[in-house]
């Protein structure tokens, strides 16, 4: 179950929020200051942070930036009594996922929490899929050779590649090029030449890293 951190300097309000989360069944923890919150964020993994804007010391917006640095994968929901478009914009720019102003309906907050957790789940899957695709692309030696060709060339063409890799049947090569295209590692320009995507460049770097990593005794 997704864990939530409540950050609010107002004890009463804080415990109020805790009760709401407890009733909704979310495991949660509380912090009464930005400092305490950062410590907890560094310590454990929280999926969502409920952050109240009006805090003494570093104010909420600054805290927000710090929190994101410490725990970039946590979703942050800003809660504030002094809502304004400017503040909302700043908060979102600094990395808040949602912005809600007091007073709010409990259901509205719970819905928001549900949504960001859903986003989190989705992003996690995307990440997993990307790793999946990358590793299955790299599992084939022909595909690795293709990717390595981009060490020196920016673009490669089909038949030229076939000759370089000494592959007689060009349709075999097309199969692997297609696989790499499906994995978003390669793309083609208007004139059919193949080139690395942004993702593909990362994959090439990964390959180099693995090479180095595995080679030294």
Partner DNA sequence: CTTTTATGTGAACTTTTCTTCACATAATAG
Partner DNA sequence: CTATTATGTGAAGAAAAGTTCACATAAAAG
Q: 30 forms bridges with which residues in the sheet?
A: 6
> Using CB under 8 A as the criterion, which residues of the chain lie in contact with a second copy when the complex forms?
72-73, 127, 130-132, 134-136, 138-139, 141, 144, 199, 202, 205-206, 209-211, 213-216
Tell which residue, 174, 169, 135, has the closest CA to residue 156.
Answer: 174
Q: Which is nearer to DNA, 31 or 196 (CB)?
A: 196
Beta carbons within 8 Å of 37's beta carbon, 6+ residues apart: 5, 7, 31, 49, 51, 63, 67
Q: Determine which residue in the list 25, 72, 103, 171 makes contact with DNA, applying CB under 7 A.
A: 171
With tokens 């022909």, the residue in question is 142
- Shortest Å distance, C-beta 111 to DNA: 37
**Member of 89, 131, 159, 209 binding DNA (CB under 7 A):** 159
Is beta strand 75-80 parallel, antiparallel or unpaired with respect to 98-101? Answer: parallel
Distance CA 136, CA 90 (A): 41
Nearer to DNA, 141 or 212 (CB): 141
**Scanning the structure block, which residue is given the tokens 């004890």?**
11
169 binds, options a second copy, DNA, none, Cβ within 5 to 8 A by partner type: DNA
Residues in touch with DNA (CB under 7 A): 136, 139-140, 142, 157-160, 169-172, 174-179, 188, 191-193
């Amino acid at each position: 179950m997704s864990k939530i951190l409540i950050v609010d300097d107002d004890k009463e309000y804080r415990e109020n929020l805790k009760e709401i989360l407890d009733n909704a069944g979310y495991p949660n923890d509380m912090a009464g200051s930005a400092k305490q919150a950062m410590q907890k964020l560094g310590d454990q993994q929280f999926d969502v942070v409920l952050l109240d804007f009006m805090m003494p010391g570093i104010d909420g917006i600054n805290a927000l930036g710090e929190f994101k640095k410490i725990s970039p994968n946590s979703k942050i929901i800003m809660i504030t009594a002094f809502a304004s478009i400017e503040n909302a914009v700043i908060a979102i720019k600094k990395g808040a996922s949602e912005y809600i102003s007091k007073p709010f309906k409990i259901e509205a907050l719970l819905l928001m929490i549900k949504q960001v957790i859903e986003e989190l789940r989705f992003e996690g899957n995307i990440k997993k899929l990307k790793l999946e695709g990358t590793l299955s692309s790299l599992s084939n030696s022909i595909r690795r050779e293709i990717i390595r060709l981009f060490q020196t060339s920016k673009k490669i063409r089909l038949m030229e590649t076939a000759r370089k890799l000494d592959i007689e049947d060009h349709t075999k090569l097309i199969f692997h090029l297609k696989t790499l295209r499906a994995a978003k590692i390669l793309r083609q320009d208007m004139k059919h030449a193949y080139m690395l995507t942004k993702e593909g460049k990362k994959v090439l770097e990964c390959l180099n890293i693995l090479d180095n990593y595995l080679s030294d005794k």
